[in-house]
Structure 1
């Protein structure tokens, strides 16, 4: 699968996660306060909860249900109760288009 347009960059609000689905893969897309766009697996590894419903703080995304925070850069959990990472996907920006390939994870 190649990179797929998931939304327009102009649709993203800073520090507000958006859930998209590409090829059946749920992904949380975040424009952080530094202006960088991140794409991580949308399902918390502790509980089957959408991370896009969580809270962004710097370069972390916190699950609203139990408080596990995940690095937007690496997908690694930064605290318990989660201990398994979520996948992080490479993001391409083409003009105003945000493109993600759910079969290609980002090298961290």
Structure 2
């Protein structure tokens, strides 16, 4: 069953921005990529470090610790040293509120 939680209004997450939230299950990073919203688990599958403070290049987040790259859109691990994908979560915009399904 879906468990939608409010993240921010659309204006609070302009294109190019990100926000990390703590949920009962994990840390979730929400990104606005050119007006489209995506949510990923904020953990590198290589060593368990956080990802959201890393550099974004297009639709990729680069782990700030060891440089592994992940696709923000689908969670795919793109470069070593990470080989496992990260979890992604459904995102909707409803009444100007960005919401994430943490039960995704």
Higher mean alpha-carbon deviation, 50-59 vs 17-26, is at 17-26
TM-score (norm 1): 0.86
Structure-2 residue corresponding to 1:102: 102
Listed as ranges, the matches of 1:37-48 within 5 Å are: 37-48=37-48
Gaps of at least 5 residues in structure 1 are: none
| Stretches of 4+ aligned residues off by more than 6 angstroms | none
**Number of equivalences:** 103
Higher mean alpha-carbon deviation, 77-86 vs 41-50, is at 41-50
Structure-1 residue corresponding to 2:17: 16
Listed as ranges, the matches of 1:47-66 within 5 Å are: 47-66=47-66
TM-score (norm 2): 0.89
- Contact 1:4 / 1:100 at 8 angstroms: preserved in 2? yes
In 2, the alpha carbon distance for the partners of 1:89 and 1:11 equals 19
CA RMSD of aligned residues (A): 1.4
